[in-house]
Amino acid sequence: MPIACTLRSEAHRDRRERWLRLTSQALEEKRLTAQGVQLRLRPLSGVEEEARALVDLERDCCSFARWSVDRHGAMVTIDVSAAGEGVKALHALFDDA
């Protein structure tokens, strides 16, 4: 499977802004893992809904990765994983998160 995002530049910019808003508002911890990235988010109002909406969108445009959202206690956790070069792409994608 190709390691690429299928979004056009304007849509990519808008999506990136949504991710930055979410993480600036609620990010508790970001972990780079051997398979990708894990984001732990504080359970503020609307955070889980936005996390789920973004992950659903990312599944379509970045299908090289596996995306999930779960609740662990009070925290909302986003796990993103891939294989091979996909891991580097994920680390770069969330570099400024």
Helix (H) or strand (E) holding 36: strand 36-41
Residue 82, phi then psi, degrees to nearest 5? -155, 180
Total residues belonging to the chain: 97
The structure's pTM equals 0.91
Looking at residue 54, its pLDDT comes to 97
Q: What is the pLDDT of residues 47-62, one digit of tens each?
A: 999 999 999 999 988 8
Domains of the chain, residue spans: 27-93
60 in helix, strand or coil? helix
Find the mean pLDDT for residues 2-24: 87
How far apart CA 34 and CA 88 sit, in angstroms, is 10
